[in-house]
Chains A and B, each alone.
Chain A
Amino acid sequence: MIVLSGIGVVILGFALRLNPLVVVAAAAIVTGLCAGMDPVVVISALGKAFVDNRFMAVAWLVLPVIGLLERAGLRERAKTLISRMKGATAGRVLMGYFVIRQFTATLGLTALGGHVPMVRPLIAPMAEAAAERQTTLTPEKREMVRANAAAADNIALFFGEDVFIAIGSILLICGFLAQNGVNAAPLDIALWAIPTALLALVIHLARLWRFDRRLGAKK
């Protein structure tokens, strides 16, 4: 039971709004110590795990490109493009992105999107430009539009990619079931992801539609 104290550290740390990096590192150390590891072993395990997960840092390689293009006016260009489109609203921009993102994810094209390469330089500015025509965009509303842009990317990706048979989660399920003596074809598992994918589409598009109406109503 005592090894669960790491979870307590996480909950307490987030509740006290401490720096998440500090909270997570503290939780890792507490968990290790409570499991009876030597402090040197705990720090070594932390270092090893951090180094083993360096692949996560590779995605940041896009930063200089996005930075350069922003300097050259990429966000402004994205805004101009949207403001020339008749009938573009923040909700419709995000609904359009959601549909494209989810559809491409079901085909396994998970790389076509993401927060740094797509949402920040293109989708969020487009949605903001459209919202500016619907209403006077207060800082709070701007924040809401941006948060919705990030959420659309996440939800479309999560519930789209599981329909594609070669994705990590499906392979993990098959591997795990096989270890436990159950033979399951990736296609069957992907098939059972379709109802939830459709529901995610319907539910989130409806919420974006409502968000759009609320945004336009308070003129």
Chain B
Amino acid sequence: MIGLETIYVLAGGMFAAFAFSHAVDRANPARWRSTLFWGVFATLLILGSYLPHFVSGVMVLVLVGLAWIGLKPGPDATTDEQTRKKSAARLGNALFIAALAIPVVTLAGTLAFPHFKSLVDAKHVTLIALALGATVGLLLAMSLTRAPLSAAAAEGRRLVDSIGWATVLPQMLAALGGMFAAAGVGAIIAKLTSAAIPMSDAHVAQTITVVVYTCGMALFTMIMGNAFAAFPVMTAGIGLPLIVGKFGGDPVVMSALGMLSGFCGTLMTPMAANFNIVPAAVLELKDRNAVIKVQIPTALLLLFANTVLMSIFVYR
């Protein structure tokens, strides 16, 4: 049966190929640093389930150390612009077919796999479908461009070099989230914020509680980088006891708009690496906060809108 472990071996194999491609690249003076970085990451992907957690932890620290020293991308061995233009004119829109095959196959797989429970692990259909989409896309691209597998590895390495340490940042942030949860950071934040609400006038207190809840969702999401982590904390700490319990608000309106307020926070924080820092690296932006800066006005306007909507409809 195809499950997560199979996919991890596939992804790990790809990163091992990137490491190998660095190892044989004599032109890059810092090649061993990159070889070690991608090699350690590949090992964690492939053997993660079998290594003792302490060993994995030490390997994670090795990744951090290497990133701190600084990864240097190898020299680009890709085609020049003239060649690319000629190739684009020759292949035309067929190039799009290979690119769009990835989302189309991922979607088809997500819909179809649940009917093949003996073949595919039903709990992880989307990830497995994504891996299949990438494989189909790769086969199409290789047959279209008549490029060998080594070219695919070299070009993939070129991209991963341009993204660099940001590749592993989302996983590191998830690890921090786990540590926050274990240390009880959320409960303390909920206690501090609910203590800050004045309770003298009922109507004023109702409105202030909504403001504290929506803005608290946004702020705590900015700290955690993830609205899913902030939601249970803020809702158990403020939403349910005060908005619903004390003032009789509607829990459905509260939670729907509360989660969306959290999403506004996601748009404004480097801690949401997947959405804000990684794309800055993917698009090779000099300012790694450029995406956040563009998003802040929309995020603040929507946070304001969510707060107004909630204060109108939650106590109705």
In contact, B156 and A77 (Cβ under 8 angstroms)? no
Binary interface encoding of chain B residues 151-188 relative to chain A, with 1 for a CB under 8 A from any of its CBs, else 0 = 11111111110000111111111111111101111001
Interface string of A111-137 (1 = CB under 8 A from B): 111111111111010000000000000
List B55-114 residues whose CB lies under 8 Å from chain A: 55-61, 63-64, 67-68, 78-79, 81, 83-89, 91-93, 95-96, 98-99, 102-103, 106-107, 110
Chain B residues with CB below 8 A from A118, complex form: 103
> Smallest Cβ distance from A66 to chain B, in angstroms?
6
Which of A6, A63, A72 lies in contact with B145, CB distance below 8 A?
Answer: A72
Chain B residue, CB-CB nearest to A190 = B256
- Expressed in whole angstroms, the Cα–Cα distance for A25 and B65 within the complex equals 10
Decide: B183 and A35 in contact? CB cutoff 8 A: yes
A-B contact count (CB 8 A): 409
By beta carbon, the residue of chain B nearest A113 is B103
Q: Are B68 and A19 in contact (CB under 8 A)?
A: yes
Tell yes or no: B293 within 8 A of A by CB: yes
A158–B11 contact, CB under 8 A?
Answer: no
Given contacts A43-B57, A70-B78, A73-B87, contact A35 B175 (CB under 8 A): no
Bound CA span A34–B232, Å: 23
Q: Is the CB of A68 within 8 A of B103?
A: no
Pair B98/A69 contact, Cβ less than 8 Å = yes
Query: Could you say which residues of chain B place their CB within 8 Å of the CB of A63?
Result: 14, 156, 159-160
Given contacts A111-B110, A117-B102, A151-B295, contact A64 B138 (CB under 8 A): yes
- Note all chain B residues with C-beta closer than 8 A to A74: 88, 95-96, 99
User: C-beta contact mask, B1-19 vs A, less than 8 Å → 1, else 0?
Assistant: 0001001101100110000
Q: A residues within 8 A CB of B275?
A: 154
The smallest C-beta distance from B177 to any residue of chain A, in angstroms, reads 8
Taking the complex as formed, is B119 at the interface, i.e. its CB lies under 8 A from any CB of chain A? no
Query: Would you call B283 and A119 a contact (CB within 8 A)?
Result: yes
Nearest-Cβ distance from residue A17 to partner chain B, whole angstroms: 9
- List of A residues within 8 angstroms of B78 by Cβ: 67, 70-71
Write out the residue numbers on chain B whose beta carbons fall within 8 Å of the beta carbon of A182: 244, 251
Contact assessment for B231 and A173 in the assembled complex, using a CB-CB cutoff below 8 Å: yes
| Interface: A62 (CB within 8 A) | yes
| With A35-B183, A112-B107, A124-B283 as contacts: A193 and B256 at CB distance below 8 Å | yes
* Distance, CA A42 to CA B260, complexed state (A): 33
A151 to B160, alpha carbons, bound, how many Å? 21
| Alpha-carbon separation in the docked complex, A74 to B137 (Å) | 13
Closest approach, in angstroms, between the C-beta of A99 and any C-beta of chain B?
15
| A176-218, CB < 8 A from B | 176-177, 180, 182, 184, 188-193, 195-196, 199-200, 203-204, 207
Rounded to whole Å, the gap between the CB of A164 and the closest CB of chain B is 13
Residues of B within 8 A of A67 (CB): 78, 152, 154-159
With A24-B173, A72-B141, A113-B103 known as contacts, the answer to whether A51 contacts B56 (CB < 8 A) is yes
Q: How far is the CB of A157 from chain B (nearest CB, A)?
A: 8
| 0 or 1 for each of A42-62: is its CB under 8 Å from B? (1 = yes) | 111111111111111111111
Q: Number of contact residues on A: which range applies?
A: 35 or more
Known contacts: A58-B7, A158-B266, A177-B255. The answer to whether A115 contacts B179 by CB under 8 A is no
Least CB distance, A116 to chain B, in whole angstroms: 6
- Say yes or no: A32-B179 contact (C-beta < 8 A), given A74-B88, A115-B278, A173-B255: yes
User: Is B213 an interface residue, CB under 8 A from the partner?
Assistant: no
CB-CB nearest 3 A-B residue pairs: A67-B155, A73-B88, A47-B57
Please list 23 pairs of residues, one from A and one from B, whose beta carbons are closer than 8 Å in the complex, sorted by A's number: A28-B176, A48-B57, A49-B174, A49-B175, A49-B178, A50-B48, A51-B49, A56-B171, A58-B130, A61-B131, A62-B130, A68-B138, A68-B147, A68-B155, A73-B87, A111-B107, A111-B129, A112-B103, A119-B283, A146-B285, A154-B295, A173-B255, A192-B253
Binding site for A on B (CB under 8 A): 4, 7-8, 10-11, 14-15, 41, 44-45, 48-49, 51-61, 63-64, 67-68, 78-79, 81, 83-89, 91-93, 95-96, 98-99, 102-103, 106-107, 110, 124, 126-127, 129-131, 133-135, 137-138, 141-142, 144-145, 147, 151-160, 165-180, 182-185, 188-189, 223, 227-228, 231-232, 235-236, 240, 244, 251-253, 255-257, 259-260, 263, 266-267, 270-271, 273-280, 282-287, 290-291, 293-295, 297-298, 301-302, 305-306, 309, 313
Sample of 7 more A-B contacts, CB < 8 Å, known A62-B102, A78-B96, A153-B279: A34-B183, A46-B175, A53-B170, A154-B275, A155-B267, A173-B231, A173-B256
